[in-house]
Amino acid sequence: MIRNLMVLSIVFMLFSSSVAQKKESINSFSILNEYVGFANESIHGMLIAHRLFENYNQDINKYVDLPDHKLNFYNNTDLPQDIFDDPDHWFYEKSPKELYLNTFDNVTALSLDDFEKLQNTITNIRGTTLKSNELRLFIGEAINKRNLSVEDTLYTIYELLEEAVDAYDLFQAELTILESQLSEVSKKIPKNEATNQYTRLIKILTDIHFFSQQVLLSIKNEDTEALSGHITGLKNTQKTFESYSIRSSGGFASSIYVRSRTRVLENINLLISGAEEYLTRPVVPEEYALYGTPYFYYNTRLINKVNRYGNGLVQACNEIIDLLKLPMLHRLEIPHYLMIIYPQKVEKQLPVIESSVHEILAAPKTLEDRSIEFIDNKHVIYVDGADPELEVFDHLQQDGDIISLNFNGDWIFRNLSLERKPRKFILKLNQTGKNFLILHAVNEGSVPPNTIGINYTSEGRRKRYVMQSNLKMSQMVEIKMTGKTEE
């Protein structure tokens, strides 16, 4: 898979003749903005796929007991084979694939450490987008060619749609990491005259993006208290921007600034009014009723006030940044999230996870060249019964954590983001020997270490256990049944 080939690509480049040249220190934001451009166009591609996944969900639900609401009016035959490549430029001036390949030239412009981190992250992002593209093709073909009146076929498609949901959650986590990395690298860029000249404007544009982003995330997280505060913050920033003026000699450049500034302010107004409507008198069309109010307002009603596909404020902010050559990063757009609707007759079943090895006498000391932290009597949980239901969730700050989880030597989740929703499953414990879960950090998020919570039931009471992991050490918890005597 492409994310696993990244190391080989970097090794090859690092030892090529071009790398032997003296590296130039980064002195502008243009290089970093290439990564933002790749991310924003990837978000655009994920939107196209998002619309298809919604349609697929509607297509199979009508075979059970839900009406078929056509949310979008295109299908795979209307699209290129790879919506992230687009050689005929149907959707992009430069496609995500083209922008991704261009970033490899930055090996001589960035420090080795910064280059490796950024390339690894965008390679992960590209891998996730390619996975989404594969899923939209595969599911579309399955719906067209299989008998959807067969229950097993329906369940298979629902499972594939849930894989798409995971891909969107992972995409969000990877973008969070990229944004954090770009921010850190940008701090190394020397200040110039424009930094002092436009200090106030830089802060205004940064705040506009921050509060717009937080308004949408508050709706997504159904946090009305936080939403009210972010609406206030956006209103205050809007007033500051309205009162801000720049020195201009007039002409074409001035007209571009006025046009872009106007678009930013118009979109802020629309975002604020939509968010206030969400708080006070939300209106959800019938076709989105089952998805819920947050889903509709985030994905359909408001996100286009921020993103480029809706002529939103991010592109306008980036136009101002380019026009005035502001020493700051381009603003990052906001990805959609995906949700699958199930008819009442089709219950969403919890996965039952069983060991491939049915008796384990000793837990491992290492996993994929990492040491495993385990302390007897400390890293142990007691559960009710041999088939406990567990719920794994992102603990504390949601900062782009991506994890893998191992049960008795088998990977039950790989490259999973838990930021939007917890993951529930049933463990089928071995009756003899040991049972264990190992948390394996894929990254450390923007705030190390990688932390998850596990909810479980012990002696009839709901309990919680917290695990931590980093890139050098995984953590293990042993699972024992309450009332079972030690062998």
| Cα dihedral 40→45→51→54 (10° resolution) | -90
Looking up tokens 């930021």 gives 419
Please give the structure tokens belonging to residue 463. Answer: 């309990």
**Length of the chain (residues):** 487
Cα 130 off chain centre by = 14
- pLDDT at residue number 428: 94
Tens of pLDDT, residues 284-318: 998 888 899 999 999 999 999 999 887 899 999 99
Q: Answer for the pair 293, 284: CB distance below 8 angstroms, yes or no.
A: yes
**Torsion over CA: 320, 325, 327, 333 (sign):** positive
**222-230, long-range: CB within 8 Å, 24+ apart, which pairs?**
222/294, 224/279, 227/275, 227/278, 227/279, 228/279
Give 10-residue mean pLDDT values along the chain (487 residues).
Answer: 45 40 57 97 95 88 58 69 86 92 94 95 96 95 78 82 93 93 93 80 97 96 94 98 77 80 97 98 91 95 92 95 93 95 68 90 88 87 92 74 90 84 88 92 77 88 89 92 68
Q: Answer for the pair 174, 128: CB distance below 8 angstroms, yes or no.
A: yes
DSSP state of 351: P
pTM over 0.95: no
- Using a 10 angstrom Cβ sphere, with 0-12 exposed, 13-18 middle and 19 or more buried, the burial of residue 49 is buried
- pLDDT at residue number 346: 55
Cα 79 off chain centre by = 24
The CA distance from 40 to 328, in Å, is 16
Beta bridge partners of 423: 392
Please give the structure tokens belonging to residue 281. Answer: 């008198």
The distance in angstroms from the start CA to the end CA of the chain is 43
The CA distance from 97 to 369, in Å, is 32
Q: Buried b vs exposed e over 8-41: b needs ≥16 C-beta within 10 Å?
A: eebeebeeeeeeeeeeeebeebebbbbbbbbbbb
Q: Answer for the pair 454, 392: CB distance below 8 angstroms, yes or no.
A: yes
Secondary structure class of 247 (helix, strand, coil):
coil
Percent of the chain with pLDDT over 90: 56
- pLDDT at residue number 146: 74
